[in-house]
Amino acid sequence: MKITIDRIIMGVLVIILAGTSIFFYLKSEHLEDVIDNELDYRSTNPEASGYISKEQALNIVLDNLNITQNDIYDLSIELDYKYNATVYDIDFKYNRYEYDYYLDAKTGEIIKSFHERD
């Protein structure tokens, strides 16, 4: 059985591709862990990270809707990374609708919002 140059090259390419795939998979898992750890720190220390507080973020949303915190229920506020930015993901229910807001955690700018019938 003769081993040709083509087979050797093909074998080397398979080894390189498999190694590269494994490397990038492990690298992406590591990056996800780093981002999650950073978000955990920032969510417990938003002002130290240069972010507005959860209360400030909520007040921006409530002012936008011209309602108070007493008007809403099932409130959830989480720091997340979406839309190429660190954002506050604010979810709540009001007047038989479910609202979802994404605010830039640094500026408080509303990046995206939507609501649907509960």
Domain containing 83 equals 51-117
- Each residue's pLDDT expressed in tens, for the chain with a length of 118 residues: 566 777 777 777 778 777 777 766 666 666 777 767 776 666 666 666 789 999 999 999 999 999 999 999 999 999 998 888 899 999 999 999 999 999 999 999 999 999 999 7
Based on the domain organization, do 28 and 72 belong to the same domain? no
- Give the CATH number, domain containing residue 71: 3.10.450.40
Angle at alpha carbon of residue 67, lines to 65 and 73, rounded to 5°: 105
Cβ–Cβ < 8 Å for 109, 61: no
pLDDT of residue 43: 60
DSSP, collapsed to helix, strand or coil, labels residue 115 as strand
- The count of domains in the chain is 2
Question: What's the pTM?
Answer: 0.63
pLDDT of residue 102: 97
Based on the domain organization, do 70 and 34 belong to the same domain? no
Closest CA to 73 of 57, 95, 54: 95
Residue in this structure with the two tokens 């050797």, named with its chain if needed: 8
pLDDT of residue 2: 63
pLDDT of residue 11: 77
Based on the domain organization, do 108 and 85 belong to the same domain? yes
Residue in this structure with the two tokens 């479910």, named with its chain if needed: 98
Q: Where are the alpha helices (DSSP H) in the chain?
A: 5-44, 54-65
